[in-house]
Amino acid sequence: MHSSLIRTIKAEGLKLKRSPVWLTFLILPLISAFFGTGNYLGNQGILQNEWFSLWSQHSLFLCFFFMPALIGTVCSYLWRLEHLRTNWNAFLTAPVPLLCLYLGKLFQAVKVVILGNIWIFILYFLCGKLCRLETDFPPQAPEWFLCGILGGIVICCLQLALSMVIRSFAVPIGIGLVGGIGGMLIVNKGAGLFYPYSLYSVGMRANNPQMTIDLKLFAVSCVCYAVLFCGLSVIGLRRHEQ
Amino acid sequence: MRTLQLEFYKIRRRKVGLTMAAFLAAQFLWGLWAFHDPTPSEQAQGFLSLLYSIPILDAVMVPPVMAMLASRLADIEHKGCMYKQLETLRKPGSLYHAKAVCGLLIIAVTFAAQYALFILLGYAIGYQGSPDITYYLLSYGLKLASNSALFLMQLALSMLFANQMIPLVTGLCGSLLGLLLMFVKMYSFLPWGGNLNSALVMMDWDARTRQATYYYREYSPVELAAVGMIFVWFVLFYAAGRVLFTRREN
């Protein structure tokens, strides 16, 4: 099992080689950081909470609108090759357990999310320094980072399930975008912890002036959704095999 | 005409209509959520306010939808490696033209349905008066032009790149740009700002009374130039896409 998993992770890594996945995670946070910082500097009369105000401008649109769709792009790309021609046959006859095949893809998606999150926080730090903020970098930032990754894993699991079932490259990305926008409405109703697409933004404390969440409930929600979507995906793979 | 018919035939089971319906349903649900409980002042200005709200909503939502539509139309040939064969049967230019017209017809129907849905929503939640048909038609025309330009740009990308990630990410970046341009000015010379240019109504927000006042926009010469730019983009993207696709070796 262990060596099979490592082989599938390597194989999925090979499939992603020379793909422009990294470019998407480079550009979108950059645009968001650029405009977010501009908006912060232009409204310092209202936004007086230094690092926290800057974070609100950086994270709001990126987390709600674009991160679910971006993760959807990676997941669609990971399944695209299998949907082409007769590649499903080759994929399902690989001499490794189905769970490993799925986890190989999940690993690659999560890796991209982690790298994307690191880039978002680097931009946040750099923009804060450029704005010459007087207070220290928030010590809670690592917690936002980790919670964001946990929420991102849930979206990876969900989008991988969708992209596995839907043969189109574009449709799961559209679902991710609409799901993310819907997440904003659901967070405003106070139910963000129960909706998979909003878990990333809730974890990242986007649009959350108090910057606090119920960590236990958040973790339980993330684990439950991740297990559910992973399970459904593996069941879907088994059915595909039959 | 035959090529155009074939384009519709090819997409008959690709659920393009369902994708556009899902986009309209998402917008309609947002409209229900945002406008369901209007104040008397909002009811009085309701149909006017729609000409402000719809373009803003579109500035964010439409770029990825155009990317999806273009990708659905172009990807069918990439997946089947059909371009080489198709171009032995007809000229690449006419194939490109057919795909463009097919997409533009779908867009025209989608946005007509969008306006019909929002007008119905307005009546359902008790907006006073009736929509100003002239302004609604003008708004529809400008929206059609700006989003058609976006579609043609996306179509060119989707036809030229077999890897559909590139056009779709461009659509997502466009969506973010559209959203952020809104905070800068209500007009833009960029293709993703076309929806902002086509907003025929503007809003004044009184923070003290927390009331919005809507009024018909008086275009400044710069804003008019930005509107004119929509048509420049339209021609430019169509011509560039067609020329690049025709010259491409498949």
Per-chain mean pLDDT for chain A: 88
Position with higher pLDDT, B28 vs A86: B28
Q: What is the pLDDT of residues A97-107, one digit of tens each?
A: 889 999 999 99
Helix runs in B125-220, H state only: 133-160, 165-184, 194-197
Position with higher pLDDT, B163 vs A126: A126
Alpha-carbon distances, residue B160 vs A96, A184, A208, B152, B243 (angstroms): 36, 35, 42, 12, 11
Write out chain A residues lying below 8 Å of B154, CB-based: none
- What's the rounded mean pLDDT across residues A148-172? 93
- For residue B191, the 8-state DSSP code is G
- The pLDDT assigned to B161 comes to 87
Best CA proximity match to A25, nearest among A116, A152, A106, A123: A116
CB contact under 8 A, A77 and B165: yes
- For residue B207, the 8-state DSSP code is T
B60 at interface of A, judged by CB pairs closer than 8 A = yes
Write down how long chain B is: 250
Distance CA A175, CA A109 (A): 17
Please determine, for residue A148, whether its predicted confidence score (pLDDT) is greater than 90. yes
Q: Are B165 and A20 in contact (CB under 8 A)?
A: yes
Name the burial class of residue A97, with classes exposed (0-12), middle (13-18) and buried (19+) by CB atoms within 10 angstroms of its CB.
middle
| CA atoms within 13 A of residue B103's CA, in its CB half-sphere | 30
Which residues of chain B fall short of a pLDDT of 50? Answer: none
End-to-end CA distance of chain B: 24
- The pLDDT assigned to A125 comes to 94
Considering only CB atoms, B168 lies closest to which of A32, A61, A173, namely: A173
What is the count of residue pairs from A and B with beta carbons less than 8 Å apart?
A: 93
Residue A242 confidence class, pLDDT cut points 50, 70, 90: low
Amino acid at position A193, single letter: L
Distance CA A150, CA B183 (A): 31
Considering only CB atoms, B19 lies closest to which of A39, A169, A174, namely: A174
- For residue A95, the 8-state DSSP code is S
Strand partners, B211: B206
CB contact under 8 A, A174 and B22: yes
Q: Are B11 and B75 in contact (CB under 8 A)?
A: no
CB contact under 8 A, B68 and A80: no
- The pLDDT assigned to A1 comes to 64
CB contact under 8 A, A168 and B75: yes
In the structure encoding, which two tokens stand for residue A38, read together? 């501009």
Please determine, for residue A208, whether its predicted confidence score (pLDDT) is greater than 80. no
- What's the rounded mean pLDDT across residues A24-43? 87
Write out chain B residues lying below 8 Å of A35, CB-based: 180, 183
What's phi and psi for A103, nearest 5 deg? -65, -30
CB contact under 8 A, B19 and A171: yes
Q: What is the dihedral of CA A51, A52, A53, A56, to 10 degrees?
A: 120
- Nearest Cα residue in chain A from B29: A182
CB contact under 8 A, A73 and B67: no
Q: Which residues contact B176 (CB under 8 A, 6 or more apart)?
A: A28, A31, A32, A61, A62, A65, A66
B134 min Cα distance to partner chain A (Å): 32
Q: Are A72 and A200 in contact (CB under 8 A)?
A: no
- Nearest Cα residue in chain B from A57: B180
A162 at interface of B, judged by CB pairs closer than 8 A = no
CB contact under 8 A, A181 and B30: yes
Strand partners, B213: B204
Helix (H, G, I), strand (E, B) or coil at A167: coil
| CB-CB neighbours of B154 under 10 Å | 30
Name the burial class of residue A204, with classes exposed (0-12), middle (13-18) and buried (19+) by CB atoms within 10 angstroms of its CB.
buried
Write out chain B residues lying below 8 Å of A23, CB-based: 169
- For residue B164, the 8-state DSSP code is T
Considering only CB atoms, B183 lies closest to which of A39, A177, A185, namely: A39
Helix (H, G, I), strand (E, B) or coil at B7: helix
| CB-CB neighbours of A104 under 10 Å | 24
